[in-house]
Amino acid sequence: MEEDVLVVMETLPGSQDENCGLNYRLDLWHMEGSAQSDGQVGTCANVLGLDQNVDSLDQVRSGEGVEEHMAEWVGEVSQGQACVGMEGADDKGNSAESMLAFGERWGVQAVAWNRHVPDVLLSGSFDHSIVLMDMRYPSHTGIRSAVTADVESLAWDPNDQNSFVVSLQDGTVQGFDVRGAASNPDSGCKPCFTLHAHDEAVTTVSFNTTAPKACLLATGSTDKMVKLWDLSNSQPSCVASNNPKAGAVFTISFSEESPFLLAIGGSKGKLHVWDTLSDPGVARRFGKYSNRKVDPAPEA
């Protein structure tokens, strides 16, 4: 998939029913010049998340929650499978798309590619588990690890290929190191830390990619709060908190161009942007990593 391709998750007309809820289709759009659709990758029910593999640019992954057909690419998909769509060319140079489904779980809520090891895919489910898959071996069941509640979101450490965090419905965030499962893959990974971050579900997380060793993490929750955490030495401490007046917070994302700008979306339907360096605690700890001139507040 090229850099000027947009993936659109579209609700299918008349697709709602009492068992499956809304069905969705993933469409590929080329944005260069006059935008035009390249056609759907497939259909699935209740697509809960998307992520593009920026190193293997022909792959888009999704999480899906209930049983449905995936058109001609894979046939029937069992409930709770993760799906990987691939756009490329066959041996005659003709355009070809395919869809790979894997896993036997209930409600895959979140998925994320490892940016350092592009064949490694992490997924999290409503069955209180996370699974680490190497897509070079799709028949392998992967490394499954238990968590304490339904998975809401997850993110790889942008500076460490072995580390990731998982946010949960019970208001906690757990940090993991995949090397912990190396000696006994059957037992999975054990959390390096458990952070009681919010009073309600932690629906979304985002790493700041500029801060060294990924020590700055943002979390958002249905308790309407957004918080920033210093994860240095796997000993999380709260740096700042903010009620953006967005309602229940559903999604947050640090900008890659301006890494201390945090976009926030919530139940009120309006987009908010928080300049996190405007907070004295953030400016004091992390202002030196910004290319902007920052005048941090003095220590209290």
- Predicted confidence (pLDDT) per residue in 262-299, tens digit: 999 999 999 999 999 999 999 999 988 887 665 555 55
Q: Residue 276's pLDDT is what? A: 97
Least confident of 21-30, 44-53, 187-196: 21-30
CA distances from 266 to 17, 51, 56, 195, 221 (A): 26, 20, 31, 22, 9
* Cα end-to-end span (Å), the chain: 50
Give the type of residue at 31: M
Whole-number pLDDT of residue 292: 67
48/75: higher pLDDT: 48
Confidence band for 51, pLDDT divided at 50, 70 and 90: low
> Are the CB atoms for 270 and 263 separated by under 8 Å?
no
168 or 215, greater pLDDT: 168
**Average pLDDT over the chain, rounded to whole?**
74
pLDDT at 57: 45
Which pLDDT score is estimated for 228?
98
- pLDDT over threshold 60, residue 56: no
Question: What are the pLDDT digits (tens) for 87-113?
Answer: 444 444 444 444 455 544 567 888 888
Range of 132-146, 202-216, 240-254 with top mean pLDDT: 240-254
pLDDT of residue 138: 74
Of 2-6, 74-78, 192-196, the range with the lowest mean pLDDT is 74-78
Instruction: Let me know if 295 is exposed, middle or buried by CB neighbors in 10 A (0-12, 13-18, 19+).
Output: exposed
pLDDT score, position 36: 47
Q: Which residue has the higher pLDDT, 36 or 233?
A: 233
DSSP codes joined into one string, 145-183: EE-SS-EEEEEE-TT-TTEEEEEETTSEEEEEEGGGGSS
Rounded Cα distance between 119 and 136, Å, is 6
Using the predicted structure, report yes or no on whether residue 134 has a pLDDT greater than 70: yes
Angle at 176 between CA 171 and CA 182, to 5 degrees: 150
One-letter-per-residue 3-state SS of 237-286: EEEEEECCCCCCEEEEEECCCCCCEEEEEECCCCEEEEEHHHCHHHHHHH
Q: Is the pLDDT of residue 239 over 70?
A: yes
pTM confidence score: 0.72
Domains of the chain with CATH codes: 147-300 (2.130.10.10)
Percent of the chain with pLDDT over 90: 39
